[in-house]
Chains A and B, each alone.
Chain A
Amino acid sequence: MNVLKLEIGRIHIKDIQLGSETSVKDGVLCVDKEGLIAFLKQDERIKDIKLDVAKPGEKVRIIPVKDVIEPRVKVQGGINGFPGITAKQAQCGDGRTHVLYGAAIVTVGDIVGFQEGVIDMWGEGARWTPFSKTYNLTVDIRVAEGLQPHIHEETVRVAGLRAAEFVGLAGKDITPDEVLTFELGSIFAETAQYPKLPRVVYAQMNITQGLLHDTYIYGVNQANILPTLLHPNEELDGAVVSGNCVAACDKITTYQHQNNSVIYDLYAQHGKEINFLGVIMVPEHTTLAGKVRASDYTVKLATMLGADAVIVSEEGYGNPDSDLLMICKKCEKSGIKTVLITDECAGRDGMSQPLADTAAEAVAVISGGNVSHVVTLPPADKVIGNKAAISVLAGGWEGSLLEDGSLMCELNAVIGATSEIGFHNVTCRLY
């Protein structure tokens, strides 16, 4: 008997436009502009909404990006929306969900003045972000004056989720182009079926350190809970939402949670090379005591599950490197093999020590790319969002704004450029 069975019906989107109804016809997504604005402005904390679209290949720059969300609708089982945040509590990961595949909601708006996070839809910048290939509905959100920063962040986060819910409804009665099925039984059942395959757990670290550095599971701020076991389908079906918006290159957007590449890949190998047991969601604390507690607890859960190996992915950079290596060291000491997925701050030439911490046990490490790599972004014909945010990129160092208006910046400014769950464009090669 399966614990959860999820069908993801992908409706392939080939174009996006603003209009007077929300619908999908022949792969063209039309969004009811005034209807969506009115829907979002039901939240009295929102003063103004600007909607626009950005398509692959257009000389358009979106900045500063807060989050990216995939528009979806629940057509069977569970409840529509994001349980615990935009909808009542319900089980995610069971039943059928339709996805407007190829479309994305991109929320834009400053919460603090130093925000960056750029998506270029064309040229050099487009090479580095996976969201240059999606048909993007940009939702630029201005909030009422005087809101506290926490409330401001929450307002913008929830507006993006509600927009995804509103747009996703267009896929309710459409026959999907393809249907993916994800099912995983109890650990006992799967192990009985695949007794000889190595048992693998995925430990997903998420930033959980306060304002602009938070992650939510069913609406619960993960900072306040111990590491917890998740069925992989729950994350693929909207249980996990990003509240993190200052680490552009390696933040895990809500879209990337909904399409977690590590989960996809572990599912693909389940029953073939491995026995995929589930996901441990690991908070990243600021205090060393919190890091010790979370890493001890993660290893204990993996041991209780009988894991032979743990894949660990990080989010962010700096103090989370300590958590990553604590988990690695403790797992290896317990006889559990580890593979780490991270990104590198290896200097502009890529030759420096890549992490803020090291461990002899970290022998299998996958890099999502070098955050310090320098790219040159030519001027855009159109900027969606806040043009002044471009000066945040230009203001970092000498010579970053070239005579022709091009910007030199580090990859860390580009959304999703060095994803630590592998949902991005760069790849690793062995020399």
Chain B
Amino acid sequence: MNYLIVTNNPAVTASKANMVFVEGSAAETLITVRDLVHEGYELISHPLAASLRMLFSPFRSVILGKKLAKVDDVSAVIIEDSISKHQRHMEFRKPDSAHDEDYKMMDLILLKAALDESPNLW
């Protein structure tokens, strides 16, 4: 496989290989993605969700592609913007732990949808 999944979602680690598991928050997961992008990994999936509710999710999974010889500029800009956007959203919010199981499930389902989009290209 040519991809790497960075996640803090235990439901994802249970079902997928090629994993970087982050023992921490969604914010820390995005930071890990940023560090890997700066090592040369390109972004395959966008680090942010498409809906506000999923932006509040305590669990986040992001797909990275191959490690390139140099940093992919587009990926670097997107992950930096995503981190600042995520921070702004979470400034006033408490972590929503009451719905952990549903958030884990949704993160996994949306990750699978992303993996189905065009897996042969990666």
| A and B together in one complex | yes
A residues with a Cβ closer than 8 A to B are 112-116, 149, 207, 209-213, 223, 244, 246-251, 284-291, 316-320, 322, 345, 347-348, 352-353, 356-358, 371, 391-392, 395-398, 412
Contact A113 B51, beta carbon cutoff 8 Å: no
Contact B88 A352, beta carbon cutoff 8 Å: yes
Contact A289 B96, beta carbon cutoff 8 Å: no
8 Å CB contact of B46 from A250, A286, A317, A396: A286
8 Å CB contact of A213 from B94, B110, B112: B110
**Known A114-B99, A286-B113; 16 more pairs at CB < 8 Å:** A114-B96, A114-B98, A207-B51, A209-B49, A211-B110, A223-B113, A247-B51, A285-B117, A287-B114, A287-B117, A288-B78, A317-B50, A345-B85, A371-B52, A392-B96, A397-B94
Contact B117 A316, beta carbon cutoff 8 Å: no
8 Å CB contact of A319 from B46, B93, B113: B46
In the complex, what's the smallest C-beta–C-beta distance from B93 to chain A, in angstroms? 5
Contact B55 A318, beta carbon cutoff 8 Å: yes
B residues with a Cβ closer than 8 A to A are 43-56, 63, 74-75, 78, 81-82, 84-85, 88-89, 91-94, 96, 98-99, 101-103, 105-106, 109-110, 112-114, 117-118, 121
Q: Complex formed: what's the CA distance from A100 to B76 in Å?
A: 51
8 Å CB contact of B88 from A113, A291, A347, A398: A347
Q: A348 contacts which chain B residues (CB < 8 A)?
A: 92
Contact B99 A211, beta carbon cutoff 8 Å: no
Q: Complex formed: what's the CA distance from A209 to B55 in Å?
A: 14
Contact B44 A396, beta carbon cutoff 8 Å: no
Q: Complex formed: what's the CA distance from A391 to B94 in Å?
A: 13
8 Å CB contact of A209 from B47, B50, B92, B96: B50
Q: A223 contacts which chain B residues (CB < 8 A)?
A: 113, 117
Q: B75 contacts which chain A residues (CB < 8 A)?
A: 288
Contact B114 A286, beta carbon cutoff 8 Å: yes
**7 A-B pairs with least C-beta separation:** A210-B113, A319-B46, A247-B51, A318-B48, A286-B114, A246-B53, A114-B99
8 Å CB contact of B44 from A287, A319, A398: A287
Contact A318 B45, beta carbon cutoff 8 Å: no
Given contacts A322-B78, A398-B94, contact A290 B53 (CB under 8 A): no
Given contacts A213-B51, A319-B46, contact A287 B63 (CB under 8 A): yes
8 Å CB contact of A149 from B51, B93, B99, B105: B105
Q: B74 contacts which chain A residues (CB < 8 A)?
A: 288
Instruction: Report which residue of B53, B96, B114 has the largest number of chain A beta carbons within 10 angstroms of its beta carbon.
Output: B53
Q: A209 contacts which chain B residues (CB < 8 A)?
A: 49-50, 110, 113-114
Q: Complex formed: what's the CA distance from A112 to B56 in Å?
A: 14
14 interchain pairs, CB-CB under 8 A = A114-B53, A149-B105, A249-B52, A286-B110, A289-B121, A317-B52, A318-B46, A319-B50, A357-B78, A358-B81, A395-B94, A395-B96, A395-B98, A412-B52
8 Å CB contact of B51 from A244, A285, A357, A358: A244
Instruction: Report which residue of A149, A287, A353, A358 has the largest number of chain B beta carbons within 10 angstroms of its beta carbon.
Output: A287
8 Å CB contact of B50 from A112, A115, A318: A318
Q: A115 contacts which chain B residues (CB < 8 A)?
A: 53
Q: Complex formed: what's the CA distance from A250 to B113 in Å?
A: 22
Contact A112 B81, beta carbon cutoff 8 Å: no
Contact B49 A319, beta carbon cutoff 8 Å: yes
Contact B93 A317, beta carbon cutoff 8 Å: no
In the complex, what's the smallest C-beta–C-beta distance from B12 to chain A, in angstroms? 14
Q: A246 contacts which chain B residues (CB < 8 A)?
A: 51-54
Q: A249 contacts which chain B residues (CB < 8 A)?
A: 52
Q: Complex formed: what's the CA distance from A100 to B98 in Å?
A: 40
Q: Complex formed: what's the CA distance from A246 to B106 in Å?
A: 11
Contact B51 A317, beta carbon cutoff 8 Å: yes
Q: B103 contacts which chain A residues (CB < 8 A)?
A: 114
Instruction: Report which residue of B55, B91, B93, B101 has the largest number of chain A beta carbons within 10 angstroms of its beta carbon.
Output: B55
Q: A247 contacts which chain B residues (CB < 8 A)?
A: 50-53
Q: Complex formed: what's the CA distance from A251 to B51 in Å?
A: 9
In the complex, what's the smallest C-beta–C-beta distance from A260 to chain B, in angstroms? 20
Q: Complex formed: what's the CA distance from A425 to B92 in Å?
A: 26
Given contacts A114-B96, A114-B103, A345-B85, contact A287 B51 (CB under 8 A): no
Q: B93 contacts which chain A residues (CB < 8 A)?
A: 396-397
Q: A318 contacts which chain B residues (CB < 8 A)?
A: 46, 48-52, 54-55, 85
Q: A116 contacts which chain B residues (CB < 8 A)?
A: 53
Q: Complex formed: what's the CA distance from A65 to B40 in Å?
A: 43
Q: Complex formed: what's the CA distance from A280 to B92 in Å?
A: 38
